[in-house]
Structure 1
């Protein structure tokens, strides 16, 4: 081959390399945001005067819009052009991050987080599709998917460390500001290195997207409201009623539109339906575990943000080890053992966390349960990705796996709200028990702090928080135990059913 020919061959290869870096950067940014904000939650709470239940919306405002609009975002890329939609999603995500960083009131931050979720829902599914259209089928595309999967898996761990460093060395606002320069760089480079895809005809299921997202938001709000104001509160009951109406309307709409955002036929197969329920339960417990342990290690154990980020690293490490193990042994053992053992192990880990109290240490009370839980859900992630697409037509595999990802986000939002309800009841009851002891022993300054914040200061407050946290983990363990029951009773995929799906695990949902 001549030197000129080698240069011509190298140029497209270099161009695709830059394109992959741009696409992977988008995925990294979206995945980072699922964990980078978590470490900053106690500082956000102090800065903007969030209650604990209100603080949960910093997480759920993002995951609800992200999960609720994820399938619509993928559809938008098919109809309008993937690069165009990709850039629009990144622009919205970056702008929302900037607004969130400047928030002075809780509602401003929550609105920005919801907008971030919309931007992520537009950009994330399109970025995966762009890998397919940018790289030719074969080894090069497989390597690109490997990079994409590695970024998805490692982004969560990177977010924990980066969130800790930014919060401690600068302040919590930088966990949002950091997205802006990355997003702007992606927007500049994408038109230069990524070709526009062919546009396809079709319609947007806007009504389905709005009713599903609105219904889930109302359902989550009902649980969060109940945690503070009780089950008989008028707004609590109104929220649950609105959720029922909106979700019923969503089900009706999806049976009547020509291009539904959620093809309900995906739930007619027992293996797919079972996979979705298991993912819903596992994600519900996972999001709740992150939320409550982050608060526990910083409020009760006194960890700095960086120390908290490092303390969580065993979870992504355990997930990575377990996911690699399941990927290698799935062809030998089939999927069911991994779902059963994974769910059982995660249940034991969460059951161990129910023993937390104000005297617990990190090594004695937190590390072991986190390793068990991380290993358990790691066995589930790759396996569920395969069982969700087992036996489905090739052209519907994207919708099936996309729905699994949406279940992860929506399940996390719903689960966190349920755990908060349990936490709220437990902390309310424990605070009443601790109040007489507090009033008998507290200094005037501590009494003034109670009057100002409405929460008991340490050490009484540590006892209240520990009791609430351990109670929340009872609910989390019950959710994963439900996943175990579903895995035992519903999943019937055999080893032979997975033979046509080799390599599909690369698109596994991420922690």
Structure 2
């Protein structure tokens, strides 16, 4: 049952003020920190590995454990935001992230660094759903909310490429510890602005469904852990299939528990909304090709074109700029055009950029004719689809459920990214039948085609299934 008094006191005012837009800046900054922290650390990984004498198997856990705790605690974070209050949970998440970023900056050993990264993932899982729910509370449904969501999503979508560049610059100029020092300073700055800028947020007079939270968290962590092992140990290794089998059991148990829980962590009624179902599918089929390309592109540019890590990061910068523009265009036309056309067209543009243009990259390629066109086309698609699917993920969902609804969509994004990239790596390895550069590139091209096929299938399903009167 909703606390109506809280809704009246803390709901969005009739007129959006400058303070409302300042609150959006704070929330978007929090999202940029959560998203960009993955990329900014990627650039520092080789130096971190040398400093602590970490082999590749241990080094990957600085990324994999962040992803595991982030994906694993998202649903819990969304439910906590709805029950305990959005501002409180956002501040708690940013506080945990800040403390763990500081611990990573002064980490004396590899073990401390890996644990600190896991803590950062937990903090991001708490702050992320709360921030999206606060955006929808601050801006009333309609054109203003669509514009706000466009700004919010464009910042999130472009922060990955920005993080790659920032990480390379900081590591080259000041060393790897400066990466975590900057994360600490920026997240602390966001945290200090929370109380004075953000509303407290709505809350539910319900329980947390701790049993469901435990099953979902353990299941999602096991799934991401297993997929992380697949990239280094293969799918037949016990360290891969055992966690994945456990994930199936745990998530199956979660589904059964939620059906009988009086106050479920994830109310199945959310899926009665056709836009929510479309947004969930779109999240998976969006992030499989996009993150797949962002995995293979640096390997191609550094391994075959001779780019430095910083140069390969700069080569991706146009992606962030184009996404920001196209997402804001999508936000302005969303009310008039509708969610589904933007999602479908965005997925098809992603498929064209990845499957039609990146498959033409040669061993001795050049940036302007071979790299930039694919980046440009898929980036337009990202901006169109991401803004629309974010709006769709909350459509027809009561305001007091926006925390868990947003968490559901981000969980789908994470699973699409982690499971999808692992599957594309498997496709690439299977298609690489030789040990030379041409064979490796054939593997990359096969992965691009597979990722594009996923996006096309997603677009077709969303286009053909019933959606709702708004489209």
Whether 1:76 aligns to 2:80 is: yes
Larger radius of gyration: 1
Whether 1:98 aligns to 2:102 is: yes
Whether 1:469 aligns to 2:433 is: no
Equivalent runs, 1:187-336 vs 2, <5 Å: 187-191=191-195, 200-336=204-340
Whether 1:480 aligns to 2:452 is: no
| 3-state SS of 1:303 partner | coil
Partner of 1:444: none
**How far apart, in 1, do the equivalents of 2:452 and 2:154 lie?**
29
Partner of 1:32: 36
| 1:53–1:227 contact (8 Å) kept in structure 2 | no
Partner of 1:448: none
Partner of 2:7: none
- How far is the alpha carbon of 1:403 from its aligned partner? 2.0
Equivalent runs, 1:437-448 vs 2, <5 Å: none
**How far apart, in 2, do the equivalents of 1:337 and 1:257 lie?**
36
The one-character-per-residue Cα deviations of 1:363-383 (angstroms, maximum 9, x if unpaired) are: 333222111211222221122
Q: Which of 449, 463, 467 in structure 2 is aligned with 1:493? A: 467
- How far is the alpha carbon of 1:116 from its aligned partner? 0.9
Equivalent runs, 1:168-187 vs 2, <5 Å: 168-187=172-191
| 1:419–1:476 contact (8 Å) kept in structure 2 | yes
**How far apart, in 2, do the equivalents of 1:207 and 1:143 lie?**
38
**How far apart, in 2, do the equivalents of 1:389 and 1:141 lie?**
11
- How far is the alpha carbon of 1:134 from its aligned partner? 7.7
Number of matched residues?
Answer: 454
- How far is the alpha carbon of 1:328 from its aligned partner? 3.8
Closer/same/farther in 2, CA of residues 111 and 472 from structure 1, 3 Å limit: farther
**How far apart, in 1, do the equivalents of 2:185 and 2:424 lie?**
35
**How far apart, in 1, do the equivalents of 2:145 and 2:463 lie?**
36
Closer/same/farther in 2, CA of residues 354 and 113 from structure 1, 3 Å limit: farther
Partner of 2:14: none
| 1:227–1:422 contact (8 Å) kept in structure 2 | no
| 3-state SS of 2:307 partner | coil
Closer/same/farther in 2, CA of residues 27 and 394 from structure 1, 3 Å limit: closer
| 2:159–2:320 contact (8 Å) kept in structure 1 | no
| 1:68–1:209 contact (8 Å) kept in structure 2 | no
**How far apart, in 1, do the equivalents of 2:68 and 2:18 lie?**
38
The one-character-per-residue Cα deviations of 1:228-250 (angstroms, maximum 9, x if unpaired) are: 44444333332332122112112
Moved more, 204-213 or 113-122: 204-213
| 3-state SS of 2:175 partner | coil
Whether 1:363 aligns to 2:368 is: yes
**How far apart, in 2, do the equivalents of 1:426 and 1:56 lie?**
24
Partner of 2:92: 88
| 3-state SS of 1:359 partner | coil
**How far apart, in 2, do the equivalents of 1:141 and 1:347 lie?**
28
Q: CA RMSD in A?
A: 3.7
**How far apart, in 2, do the equivalents of 1:221 and 1:343 lie?**
28
| 2:81–2:403 contact (8 Å) kept in structure 1 | no
Closer/same/farther in 2, CA of residues 125 and 374 from structure 1, 3 Å limit: same
The one-character-per-residue Cα deviations of 1:456-488 (angstroms, maximum 9, x if unpaired) are: xxxx5x556544433432332232122123223
- How far is the alpha carbon of 1:201 from its aligned partner? 2.8
**How far apart, in 2, do the equivalents of 1:342 and 1:230 lie?**
33
Q: TM-score under structure 2 normalisation?
A: 0.81
- How far is the alpha carbon of 1:282 from its aligned partner? 0.9
Q: Which of 338, 348, 352 in structure 1 is aligned with 2:352? A: 348
| 3-state SS of 2:305 partner | coil
**How far apart, in 2, do the equivalents of 1:159 and 1:323 lie?**
19
**How far apart, in 2, do the equivalents of 1:52 and 1:426 lie?**
23
Q: Which of 369, 383, 392 in structure 1 is aligned with 2:388? A: 383
| 1:224–1:418 contact (8 Å) kept in structure 2 | no
**How far apart, in 1, do the equivalents of 2:52 and 2:317 lie?**
27
The one-character-per-residue Cα deviations of 1:321-346 (angstroms, maximum 9, x if unpaired) are: 33234334444443433333322221
| 1:67–1:408 contact (8 Å) kept in structure 2 | no
Moved more, 342-351 or 149-158: 149-158
- How far is the alpha carbon of 1:425 from its aligned partner? 4.3
| 1:335–1:493 contact (8 Å) kept in structure 2 | no
